[in-house]
Amino acid sequence: MAGCDWTKTTTTQENADEKIARQLAGPNNPIVQKIKTLNMSNAYSTGYNDGVNEVSRQAQRVSMMQGDMVEQLRNLKELKGTFFDMAGQISDNHLDPGVLAEYRRGWNDGWDTLQQVR
Protein backbone atom coordinates (compact mmCIF):
# COMPACT_ATOMS: atom_id res chain seq x y z
CA MET A 1 0.00 0.00 0.00
CA ALA A 2 1.33 3.38 -0.95
CA GLY A 3 2.17 5.64 1.97
CA CYS A 4 2.05 2.87 4.59
CA ASP A 5 5.18 2.37 6.67
CA TRP A 6 4.98 -1.28 7.81
CA THR A 7 7.93 -0.76 10.16
CA LYS A 8 5.93 1.79 12.13
CA THR A 9 2.87 -0.47 12.11
CA THR A 10 4.88 -3.39 13.46
CA THR A 11 6.61 -1.24 16.07
CA THR A 12 3.30 0.29 17.12
CA GLN A 13 1.75 -3.18 17.44
CA GLU A 14 4.75 -4.46 19.40
CA ASN A 15 4.52 -1.46 21.74
CA ALA A 16 0.81 -2.09 22.23
CA ASP A 17 1.47 -5.79 22.90
CA GLU A 18 4.22 -4.92 25.38
CA LYS A 19 1.92 -2.47 27.16
CA ILE A 20 -0.77 -5.14 27.48
CA ALA A 21 1.78 -7.66 28.76
CA ARG A 22 3.02 -5.18 31.38
CA GLN A 23 -0.55 -4.52 32.50
CA LEU A 24 -1.32 -8.24 32.81
CA ALA A 25 1.98 -9.62 34.10
CA GLY A 26 3.96 -6.59 35.20
CA PRO A 27 5.35 -5.59 38.58
CA ASN A 28 1.94 -4.64 39.98
CA ASN A 29 0.45 -8.09 39.40
CA PRO A 30 -0.20 -9.83 42.76
CA ILE A 31 1.29 -13.13 41.53
CA VAL A 32 4.47 -11.38 40.38
CA GLN A 33 4.69 -9.60 43.73
CA LYS A 34 4.26 -12.91 45.54
CA ILE A 35 6.96 -14.65 43.47
CA LYS A 36 9.36 -11.79 44.24
CA THR A 37 9.10 -12.62 47.96
CA LEU A 38 10.04 -16.28 47.44
CA ASN A 39 13.41 -18.01 47.39
CA MET A 40 14.65 -21.34 46.08
CA SER A 41 13.69 -23.16 49.29
CA ASN A 42 10.02 -22.15 49.32
CA ALA A 43 9.18 -21.42 45.66
CA TYR A 44 8.21 -24.99 44.72
CA SER A 45 5.95 -25.63 47.74
CA THR A 46 4.27 -22.23 47.39
CA GLY A 47 3.71 -22.84 43.68
CA TYR A 48 2.40 -26.32 44.39
CA ASN A 49 -0.16 -25.03 46.91
CA ASP A 50 -1.18 -22.22 44.56
CA GLY A 51 -1.63 -24.68 41.69
CA VAL A 52 -3.82 -26.97 43.81
CA ASN A 53 -5.92 -24.07 45.02
CA GLU A 54 -6.32 -22.56 41.57
CA VAL A 55 -7.34 -25.78 39.82
CA SER A 56 -9.85 -26.40 42.60
CA ARG A 57 -11.39 -22.93 42.18
CA GLN A 58 -11.36 -23.16 38.39
CA ALA A 59 -12.91 -26.65 38.40
CA GLN A 60 -15.80 -25.34 40.47
CA ARG A 61 -16.35 -22.49 38.01
CA VAL A 62 -15.98 -24.70 34.94
CA SER A 63 -18.39 -27.31 36.32
CA MET A 64 -21.11 -24.66 36.21
CA MET A 65 -20.49 -24.08 32.49
CA GLN A 66 -21.37 -26.30 29.59
CA GLY A 67 -18.70 -28.30 27.83
CA ASP A 68 -15.78 -30.56 28.51
CA MET A 69 -14.27 -29.73 31.89
CA VAL A 70 -10.93 -31.39 31.16
CA GLU A 71 -10.49 -29.43 27.95
CA GLN A 72 -11.41 -26.14 29.59
CA LEU A 73 -9.00 -26.78 32.47
CA ARG A 74 -6.26 -27.66 29.98
CA ASN A 75 -6.87 -24.35 28.21
CA LEU A 76 -6.70 -22.47 31.50
CA LYS A 77 -3.40 -24.17 32.34
CA GLU A 78 -1.98 -23.12 28.96
CA LEU A 79 -3.06 -19.52 29.62
CA LYS A 80 -1.32 -19.62 32.99
CA GLY A 81 1.82 -20.89 31.26
CA THR A 82 1.64 -17.89 28.93
CA PHE A 83 1.34 -15.65 32.00
CA PHE A 84 4.48 -17.18 33.52
CA ASP A 85 6.33 -16.69 30.22
CA MET A 86 5.28 -13.04 30.03
CA ALA A 87 6.09 -12.34 33.68
CA GLY A 88 9.56 -13.80 33.24
CA GLN A 89 10.27 -11.67 30.16
CA ILE A 90 9.31 -8.32 31.69
CA SER A 91 12.57 -6.92 32.99
CA ASP A 92 10.81 -4.50 35.36
CA ASN A 93 9.58 -7.51 37.36
CA HIS A 94 13.14 -8.34 38.52
CA LEU A 95 12.20 -11.99 39.02
CA ASP A 96 14.90 -14.52 39.83
CA PRO A 97 14.67 -16.98 36.91
CA GLY A 98 15.44 -19.94 39.18
CA VAL A 99 12.74 -18.99 41.69
CA LEU A 100 10.22 -18.41 38.89
CA ALA A 101 11.08 -21.80 37.37
CA GLU A 102 10.66 -23.57 40.73
CA TYR A 103 7.38 -21.78 41.46
CA ARG A 104 6.11 -22.66 37.99
CA ARG A 105 7.20 -26.31 38.35
CA GLY A 106 5.42 -26.52 41.72
CA TRP A 107 2.33 -24.79 40.34
CA ASN A 108 2.16 -27.22 37.40
CA ASP A 109 2.63 -30.24 39.68
CA GLY A 110 -0.05 -29.00 42.08
CA TRP A 111 -2.45 -28.34 39.21
CA ASP A 112 -1.77 -31.77 37.67
CA THR A 113 -2.06 -33.64 40.99
CA LEU A 114 -5.49 -32.31 41.82
CA GLN A 115 -6.74 -32.56 38.24
CA GLN A 116 -5.82 -36.27 38.18
CA VAL A 117 -7.94 -36.85 41.29
CA ARG A 118 -11.01 -35.33 39.66
* Residue pair 94/26 in contact by the 8 Å Cβ criterion: no
1 falls within a domain: no
Per-residue model confidence (pLDDT) at position 22: 75
50 falls within a domain: yes
Binning the chain into helix, strand and coil, the percentages to the nearest 5 are: 80, 0, 20
8 falls within a domain: no
Per-residue model confidence (pLDDT) at position 14: 67
* The total number of structural domains that make up the chain: 1
pTM confidence score: 0.76
3 falls within a domain: no
Q: Which domain holds residue 54?
A: 25-117
Per-residue model confidence (pLDDT) at position 24: 78
9 falls within a domain: no
Give average pLDDT by consecutive 10-residue segment, the chain, 118 residues.
47 72 83 95 96 87 70 87 92 94 96 71
Q: Which helix (H) or strand (E) holds 45?
A: helix 43-63
42 falls within a domain: yes
